[in-house]
Amino acid sequence: MATFVEGPVRVTVPATSANLGPGFDTLGLALGLRDELVAEVTSGGIEVDVHGHGSDEVPRDESHLVVRAMRMGFRAMGAEPPGFTLACTNAIPHTRGLGSSSAAIVGGLVLARAMVAGGQLLLDDDAIFRLAAGLEGHPDNVAPAMYGGFTIAGHDGTRWFAVQAPVDPRITTVVFVPTDPVSTKVARGLLPAEVPHADAACNAGRAALLVAALAGRPECLLTATEDQLHQDYREEAMPESLALVRSLRADGFPAVVSGAGPTVLVLADVSSVADLLARSPQGWAAHHLAVDQEGARVE
């Protein structure tokens, strides 16, 4: 029978940006903005408290995404607490393309592991990543949420995989977050079933170049972040985002749609941060976010 840790357990998990232009459903980057989850085993039932982004919208029962992920983690370890409290403090905006659902899934799994004595022996980081990718349905956000930094992830026909790659310390990010959300389901629904071979070949080359550019050739980032597969197809759902991407790129900034959007992300040099922040559209929130080299962690 599993033994549970006494007292509260605290986990933080980073925001993430997926795709990064050409790396559709494959490339992801952890960003310096973290949700905090605190849970404690009780004698029965569950109690969920939420503050911050999404607090007026998310459920407070078993359907809450963090609770669902925790249950999955407990089952994987053969452990089931009699009850628990969960408090979520959400810093990551919801439905903005910054990995809020992946943060919830990864955070819930890591939280469940930390609540079980010896949980690290029952469920290692790679197992958590695979569970998270299966629940999310794609690995591009859950990989950096779990491992931190820059990740390349996918499915080999048998199982999910992810590897980390280096990021040059000169590279940072600026994100522009609009007020209106776009759901991932809507954004995916705008993509065609087939794309021209030339577009696919272009993206393959740009994604390969992006790995090298992030590792130590930041002067190549503008070319490396070109995309032919998904951003333009989604324009009707986020016209202002695509207009901002094009405006920034015309001035030499490697701007992309973050994940499914509508947030716009720029892979920036530290020296350009102030100029970029000044270009935020009226009503949007602009943030300078460093690349977070740590994934989900127990505090």
Nearest to 37 by CA among 48, 46, 28, 26: 48
- Asked whether residue 194 carries a pLDDT value surpassing 90, the answer given is no
In this structure, which amino acid lies at residue 202?
C
3-state SS, residue 219: helix
In this predicted model, what pLDDT tens digit does every residue of 220-248 receive, in sequence order?
Answer: 999 999 999 999 989 899 999 999 999 99
Long-range contacts of 187-191 (CB under 8 A, 24+ apart): 187/234, 187/237, 187/238, 187/260, 187/261, 188/260, 190/233, 190/234, 190/236, 190/237, 191/229, 191/230, 191/233, 191/234
Q: What is the reported pLDDT for 193?
A: 87
Q: 100 a known binding residue?
A: yes
Q: 97 a known binding residue?
A: yes
Q: The tokens 């089952």 sit on which residue? A: 75
Which residues fall within 8 angstroms of residue 149, CB to CB, at 6 or more apart?
Answer: 29, 30, 164, 165, 166, 167, 291, 292, 293, 295
pLDDT average, residue stretch 10-32: 97
Specify the domain boundaries for CATH 3.30.230.10 within the chain. Answer: 9-165+294-298
Q: 93 a known binding residue?
A: yes
Residue 92 to residue 46: CA distance in whole angstroms = 24
Helix (H) / strand (E) containing 177? strand 171-177
Residue 27 to residue 68: CA distance in whole angstroms = 25
Q: 183 a known binding residue?
A: no
Q: Are 294 and 14 in contact (CB under 8 A)?
A: yes
- Asked whether residue 111 carries a pLDDT value surpassing 80, the answer given is yes
Q: 102 a known binding residue?
A: yes
Task: Count other Cβ atoms within 10 Å, centred on residue 117.
Answer: 14
Q: What angle do CA 262, 266, 269 make, to 5 degrees?
A: 165
pLDDT higher at 193 or 251: 251
pTM of the predicted model as reported, rounded to 2 decimal places = 0.95
User: What is the CATH architecture assignment of 171-289?
Assistant: 2-Layer Sandwich (3.30)
Q: 63 a known binding residue?
A: no
Q: What is the reported pLDDT for 183?
A: 79
Residue 71 to residue 77: CA distance in whole angstroms = 10
Packed helices 65-77 and 125-136: angle between N→C axes, nearest 10 degrees:
130
Specify the domain boundaries for CATH 3.30.70.890 within the chain. Answer: 171-289
- Asked whether residue 186 carries a pLDDT value surpassing 90, the answer given is no
Written as six digits, the tokens of 50 are 């939420």
In this predicted model, what pLDDT tens digit does every residue of 58-105 receive, in sequence order?
Answer: 999 999 999 999 999 999 999 999 999 999 999 999 999 999 999 999
User: Across the chain, what does the average pLDDT equal?
Assistant: 95
- Asked whether residue 182 carries a pLDDT value surpassing 90, the answer given is no
CATH no. of 9-165+294-298: 3.30.230.10
Highest mean pLDDT among 184-193, 212-221, 234-243: 212-221
Q: What is the reported pLDDT for 187?
A: 75
Q: What angle do CA 110, 287, 17 make, to 5 degrees?
A: 45
The b-or-e profile of 65-103 (16+ CB within 10 A means b, else e) is bbbebbbbbbebbebebeebebbbbbbbbbbbbbbbbbb
Written as six digits, the tokens of 298 are 């127990």
- Asked whether residue 204 carries a pLDDT value surpassing 80, the answer given is yes
Q: 99 a known binding residue?
A: yes
Q: How far is CA 124 from CA 8, 92, 162, 212, 299, in A?
A: 21, 25, 14, 29, 17
Q: What is the reported pLDDT for 192?
A: 84
